[in-house]
Structure formats: C-alpha cells, structure tokens
Amino acid sequence: MDNDSLYFLSNWANVESGGNALLTMWNIFKHISIHHYLTVAAIIFTIGFYGVIVRRNAISILMSIELMLNAVNLNFVAFNQIWGLKITRAAFTSNEDVLTPVGQIFTIFIIIIAAAEAAVGLAIVIAFYRQRHSVKVEDADLMRW
Amino acid sequence: MTSMEFSPQTIDFTAIMPIIIISAGILVTLLLPFAAKGRAKIINPLVALIVLLAAFISSARIWDLGRASFDGMYTADNATLFASFIFIIVAFITVIAITARYCPFLRSPDGEGLFASPEVFPLMLTVVVGAIVMSASRNLILTFLAIETLSIPLYVLAGMNLSSERSKEASLKYFLTGAFASGFLAYGISLIYGAVGKLGYHAILDACSPTAADYTLYAGLALVAVGFGFKVALVPFHAWVPDVYQGSPALISGFMASLVKAAGFTAILRFFGEGIVPLYGIWWVAIAIIAALTMTVGNLMALNQIVLKRLLAYSSIAHAGYLLLAVLIIGKEWSEKGVTAGAPLGDAMQCAFFYLAGYVFAIIGSFAIIWWLTPSDKEGALLEIDDVRGLNDRHPLHAALFALFLFSLAGFPITAGFLGKFFLFASALSHGFILLVVFALLNAVLSAYYYLKIIVAMYMKSAPEHASLCEEPSPNPWIYAVVWTCTLATLWLGIIPASILGLLGSVSVGG
C-alpha cells in the first residue's frame, strides 16, 4: 500500500471518529495527483472498450464509444496540468509563465467531434431501425464473409 | 513548431486557399437547395464542379513554393499538393458520374434517382477537405480533426442509397468501427501529449530518442498506429472493409477505396517519416509483420470471393499491404540520412506516390464499371463473377475496360499498376527488404489468379443461362467521364511514366 492510500485511510478514520468531514476531504483532495486522474481515465477507457466489444445494442455501443472519448478528455486535461505551464524564454526576462493550453484546446475539439459523431451515429441507427426494426448489431447480417 | 503563440501574421492564406474555396463551396451547396428549390438539382453539382476546379487551380498556383501556414502546422509542400491533385481529380469525376444519375434531365430512363437528395455534394466536398488537410497536417490535433472531417461524411455517404438495406447496414458497420477507431486514435494522441508535451511532428521528432525508452510515448504511438490501421484497413483491423464496400453505392465504394486510402497513406507517410522516424529501429518489425499479414490475408480472402465488390474490397486490402513497404523504405532512408526541411523526397516517396496514383485510378475505374453494369445499386451489391460470364459477347467495351483496370490492379505491363509495383519493389530491394519483397512478389502472383478469373469469365466463358444481373447496363453517357479518365490515367502512367516521375522529382518536403 502506497503513501497516498495510507494517507486516505488515516484521514477517513479521522472522519469516522467525528472530525471535520469537509476539511478532511480537502486534505484528501490535495493529495490527488495526476496519476489518479490518469488511472481513472484508463479505467473509463477500458470500460468503454469492454462495452463496445460486449454490447449487442448499437445505442449501447455508441454510448461506450462516447465513454472512450471522454476518457481521452480526462487524459488531456490531466496532462495539461504538467505541460500547461511552460517555462519559455520570456521567463528569463520577466517573471511571467507562458501558458500553452494545448491539452485543453484538444479537449474542446474532442467534445465537438464526439457531438458530431453522436448526431450522425444516432441518425444512422434510426435509419437502420426503420428498415430492420432492430438496433441489435447481430441483425446487421445481410453481408458476411 | 517553435511556439504556440498565435498571431494573424502566421496565417498564409495562399497556402490554405484550396481549403477555403472548397469550404465555401460546402456552404453554398448545402444552402442552395433551400433557395433554388427544384433548380438546385442542376445548379448544385455545377457549383461543386466549379469549386473543385478552382481548388485545383489554386493548388497548382502554389506548386514549388513550399508554403506553410499556422506556424508550420499546415504545410502546402509539393507532396501535399500532388496528393490534393489526386483527391480533387477523383472527386471531380465522381461528382460528374453521380450527377448523371441525379439530375432529372441527365438521368437515364432506367435510373431510379439513387441520390435523391442534394446533400451528396456538400458531403463529398467535406471529404475532400478532410483528405487535403490530412495530407498537409503536421500536427496531431490537425491530423485527428482532418481524419474525423473525412470520416463523418463518409458514414453518411455509405448509407446514401436510401432504398437499399445493404447500404444502411454498410453505413452502420462503417460508423461503429470508424468511431471505435477514433477512440483509439484520440487516446493514443493523449498519451503522446503526456509524454512529449506538444503535438507538432517536429516536437515529437525531437522528443523521440531511440536510446531512452519512454513507455508512455510508445503506448501512444502504438494506439495511434491502431487508429491509422483502422482507417486504411491494415490486417488485424480490416474486418469492416468488405461489408462496407459491398453495401455502399458502387461509386461511393470507389471513392472510399481510392481517396480515403490515398489520404490515409499520405498521413501515415508524413507521421512515420517526419514524426517518429528516430524510433525506426523499434517500429519497423511491427510494420513489416503487418505489411506481410495485410498482403497475404487480403489476397487469400479474395481468392474465393464470388461477389465482385467484395473481391475488389479484399484486393484493396492487399494493396494497402504493398503500400506499407513504402513506409518502411521511407523510415529506413530518413532514419539514416535524417529529415531535413526542403530536401527532395527520396525515391521511396516518389514510388509511393506513383503507386498511389496508379492504384487510385484502377480501383475507382473498376467500381465505376460495376456501377455502369448495374443500373440499380441494389443489384450492384450482388453482382457475381457468374454474372459477367461472356460479357465480351454482350458488351465488349465494358469488358475491355474492366479487363484493363484488373490488369493494372494485378500489375501487368503497360499499365500503371505494373510500373507502380516495379518501382516500389525495386526500391524496397535496394533498401535491403529482400524477404519482404519476395513475399510481396509471391502475393502479386497469387493475386493474379483472382483478377484473371474475372477476365477469363468475361472472355472465355459463355453467357449464363439464367437472367444475368447486368443484362442492360446503364446507357448513360456521363459515366464515360469516370471510365475514360481512369483509362487514360492508367495507360498514361503505364506507358509514359516519366512525365509524372519528373513532376514527383521536384516534390520536396517543405520546411
């Protein structure tokens, strides 16, 4: 068990014994590092991947794909935490840090693309449903091998 | 890319002029149907053609200038421009052919108005914009956006045949696999961003070091490669191709097989050649194995196909395998010499582009012939080798041109396909990929079997007793635009390659 988990547990024990819950949570949040975000993103991505592989309903697959893209968003925002503040030449002449919010910009683009994909995808699923009266992917079986 | 500071001075409008023109065309063709109601059916394709012509001219005007825009994020070097010429020509002839069935006064008596909606044109123009940006992009953000700009309209185009169930199915399958692949691509890009902190190819090039292993970067690169592999249909990720190509309207299949594959490969060549070339020692084994697998599986699966469109789909997978050789050659060449801005492309890039040009016209020509033979696309998806038996007796011109395109795909002399394969394999040999070239040659021999099977059926078999699907090919004269352009290009590249090679000789990587 690493230090963070021990810290979390000790704080939690503090709450259980009647400590200030809000203050305790703040203490815990302070210890959330980039690794926690990345781990959550990886887990979400894996859940999305699993959903695409396992689910038979086209709408569920679409939702799983959105989950994968949201994991990417989380990744970008988290990485932006380390790369966002970049020491450039300006830092030597003035005390300014120059912001390069590439990750956050990319996140906005991915949100747009996910929206476009959902719009087109739902339309395609509806068009498919009108003809086959099903949204199950195993019913898309007119063409095989 | 030096910095992310953004000022209007860094935008070179001449470099992005083709994109601006086509984007304006997208808006016009999208909104015109509301203003011009019935007449839009005639005006819309006309606007699309004019826009493509204008984009072609504005691309030709910046030939050799090596322009770049947005801090080098968008490079209009000659490699980009050559690729955009291919995209624009392909889109141009496809628009003409689609118009033939779509315009009321041009429609043949038997045409049933497959493309009953004028949205086809803005969608096709959007695909062209995506393709051009893909070949010009030197930043993973832009590459990702371009891939999506290219893909999302194609999901719709695949389902454009409103009356066909197979078309809907193709659309659904293409969408689900395509969106899945973009998830991988985006996740890979996020990992690369985490490792490098920037997304420009130059920044990635600087950050790639073959000595210090950075596993975040490697994982990101692997995922990006998976995303690219889905888009150009490399073997473990190829399962969607036959279904999608069979179900889509034949011309759209041809459009996908030619334009999308060409755009995907120019993007791959740029990313592998300019981005991660220092890691060549790590990725070449993976790419070599995938290349061998792609050729073999594509050809083996094509051997016993009876539906023509599926056969062509599998053959296009095999062609993607041959083209991967070019990625290996470029990686080897540039990892030894180092990438220098403004340097002329090596002969590897030359033969990659030559191969692409030859392949594009042969495959779109073949699909156009299928479209020509079956006036209704519902039947086009089911056209089998048996149906074209004795085609020479019934429709000699169709048979002759189809045979020419198949010969080019198989790589027989005097066609573009032969020289394309010859240059590519010769270059691979001179760079020491002996085993892989032997493998590719065996595959080329294998592929001749199924191409010749169609030609034998057309010329040496008697017509089937039962009613064939292609009894009455569309008498529409406008399909000639596609077929003759492809014929001309195939023969021209095959007989006088020097003209294009000379053009490619001046193609260089922009600074």
What per-residue confidence (pLDDT) applies to B109?
A: 43
What per-residue confidence (pLDDT) applies to B110?
A: 43
**CA B444, B447, B449, B452: dihedral to nearest 10 degrees?**
-100
Mean pLDDT of B136-159: 93
The DSSP-derived string for B194-235 is: HHHS--BHHHHHHH--SSS--HHHHHHHHHHHHHHHHHHT-G
What per-residue confidence (pLDDT) applies to B290?
A: 95
* pLDDT, tens digit, 9 for 90 and up, residues B329-338: 988 888 887 6
The mean of the pLDDT values for chain B is 85
- B71: contact with A, CB 8 A cutoff: no
CB spacing of B152 vs A69 below 8 angstroms: no
Interatomic CA distance for residues B153 and A134, integer angstroms: 24
Stated as kind and residue range, the H or E segment containing B101 is helix B78-102
What per-residue confidence (pLDDT) applies to A83?
A: 80
Which chain A positions have a beta carbon within 8 Å of B180's beta carbon? 52, 65, 68
Give domain status of residue A144, yes or no.
no
Q: Give A122's Cβ-side CA count (13 Å radius).
A: 7
pTM, 2 dp: 0.90
Task: State the nearest Cα–Cα gap between B142 and chain A, in angstroms.
Answer: 10
Interatomic CA distance for residues B395 and B399, integer angstroms: 6
Domain of A135 in residue numbering reads as 33-139
Which residue among B3, B152, B169 places its CB closest to the CB of A142? B169
- Band of the pLDDT at B228, cuts 50, 70, 90? very high
Task: State the nearest Cα–Cα gap between B501 and chain A, in angstroms.
Answer: 39
- B94: contact with A, CB 8 A cutoff: no
Residue in this structure with the two tokens 């070449």, named with its chain if needed: B284
User: What percentage of chain B has pLDDT greater than the value 70?
Assistant: 86
- B189: contact with A, CB 8 A cutoff: yes
Is B273 within 8 Å of B237 (Cβ atoms)?
no
Q: Which of A83, A97, A109, A142 to mutate to test the interface with B (most CBs of B within 10 A)?
A: A142
User: What percentage of chain B has pLDDT greater than the value 90?
Assistant: 48
Residue in this structure with the two tokens 């940006």, named with its chain if needed: B133
Based on the number of CB atoms within 10 Å of its own CB, is B210 exposed (0-12), middle (13-18) or buried (19 or more)?
Answer: exposed
Q: Is the pLDDT of residue B213 over 80?
A: no
What per-residue confidence (pLDDT) applies to B330?
A: 87
Q: Is the pLDDT of residue B352 over 50?
A: yes
Residue in this structure with the two tokens 């699909």, named with its chain if needed: B367
What per-residue confidence (pLDDT) applies to B498?
A: 82
Task: State the nearest Cα–Cα gap between B243 and chain A, in angstroms.
Answer: 6
CB spacing of A124 vs B156 below 8 angstroms: yes
Interatomic CA distance for residues B162 and B168, integer angstroms: 8
Is B191 within 8 Å of A75 (Cβ atoms)?
yes
- B243: contact with A, CB 8 A cutoff: yes
* pLDDT, tens digit, 9 for 90 and up, residues B420-455: 999 999 989 988 899 999 999 999 999 999 999 999
* pLDDT, tens digit, 9 for 90 and up, residues B396-429: 888 999 999 999 999 998 899 999 999 999 989 9
* pLDDT, tens digit, 9 for 90 and up, residues B6-33: 455 567 888 899 999 999 999 999 888 8
- Band of the pLDDT at A6, cuts 50, 70, 90? low
Give domain status of residue A107, yes or no.
yes
CB spacing of B187 vs A62 below 8 angstroms: no
Q: Is the pLDDT of residue B172 over 90?
A: yes
What per-residue confidence (pLDDT) applies to B476?
A: 65
Mean pLDDT of A20-46: 85
What per-residue confidence (pLDDT) applies to A85?
A: 63
Q: Tokens in use for B480?
A: 């000639």
CB spacing of B197 vs A82 below 8 angstroms: yes
Nearest by Cα to B357 from B83, B134, B141: B83
Lowest-confidence segment of B250-259, B366-375, B501-510 by average pLDDT: B501-510
What per-residue confidence (pLDDT) applies to B249?
A: 86
How many independent structural domains does chain A possess? 1
CB spacing of B152 vs A120 below 8 angstroms: yes
- B182: contact with A, CB 8 A cutoff: yes
Q: Scan residues 120-179 of B and list those with Cβ closer than 8 Å to A.
A: 141, 144-145, 148, 152, 155-156, 159, 165-166, 168-173, 175-176, 179
Helix and strand counts by DSSP (H, E) for chain B = 21, 2
Q: Which of A57, A143, A144 to mutate to test the interface with B (most CBs of B within 10 A)?
A: A143
Give domain status of residue A20, yes or no.
no
Q: Is the pLDDT of residue B48 over 80?
A: yes
Lowest-confidence segment of A94-103, B239-248, B436-445, B495-504 by average pLDDT: A94-103
Interatomic CA distance for residues B8 and B20, integer angstroms: 16
Q: Is the pLDDT of residue B254 over 50?
A: yes
Give domain status of residue A15, yes or no.
no
What per-residue confidence (pLDDT) applies to B105?
A: 45
Which chain A positions have a beta carbon within 8 Å of B310's beta carbon? 143
* pLDDT, tens digit, 9 for 90 and up, residues B185-194: 999 999 999 9
- Beta-carbon contacts of A110 under 8 Å, excluding residues fewer than 6 positions away, are A69, A72, A73, A76, B186
Interatomic CA distance for residues B120 and B98, integer angstroms: 9
- Beta-carbon contacts of A108 under 8 Å, excluding residues fewer than 6 positions away, are none
CATH code at position A114: 1.10.287.3510
User: What percentage of chain A has pLDDT greater than the value 90?
Assistant: 45
Interatomic CA distance for residues B328 and B326, integer angstroms: 5
Is B171 within 8 Å of B200 (Cβ atoms)?
no
- B298: contact with A, CB 8 A cutoff: no
What per-residue confidence (pLDDT) applies to B101?
A: 62
Interatomic CA distance for residues B206 and B209, integer angstroms: 8
Nearest by Cα to B141 from A90, A37, A100: A100
DSSP state of B390: T
CB spacing of B190 vs A72 below 8 angstroms: yes
Q: Is the pLDDT of residue B493 over 60?
A: yes
Which chain A positions have a beta carbon within 8 Å of B198's beta carbon? 83, 100, 102
Q: Is the pLDDT of residue B371 over 80?
A: yes
- Band of the pLDDT at B114, cuts 50, 70, 90? very low
Classified as helix, coil or strand, A133 is coil
Q: Is the pLDDT of residue B489 over 60?
A: yes
Q: How far is CA B239 from the centre of its chain?
A: 17
- B247: contact with A, CB 8 A cutoff: yes
Give domain status of residue A125, yes or no.
yes
Is B373 within 8 Å of B384 (Cβ atoms)?
no
What per-residue confidence (pLDDT) applies to A91?
A: 43
Residue in this structure with the two tokens 């968003």, named with its chain if needed: A73
Which chain A positions have a beta carbon within 8 Å of B126's beta carbon? none
Which chain B positions have a beta carbon within 8 Å of A65's beta carbon? 176, 179-180, 183
Fill in the amino acid letter for A100.
Answer: T
Task: State the nearest Cα–Cα gap between A8 and chain B, in angstroms.
Answer: 26
Stated as kind and residue range, the H or E segment containing B28 is helix B17-36
Highest mean pLDDT among A89-93, B86-90, B166-170 belongs to B86-90
CB spacing of A102 vs B198 below 8 angstroms: yes
Give domain status of residue A104, yes or no.
yes
Mean pLDDT of A112-141: 90
The residue ranking higher by pLDDT, B219 or B117, is B219
Nearest by Cα to B362 from B86, B170, B123: B86
Mean pLDDT of A76-96: 66
Nearest by Cα to B247 from B152, B316, B356, B169: B169
How distant, in Å, are the alpha carbons of B120, B202, B371, B475 from that of B109?
A: 21, 56, 16, 8
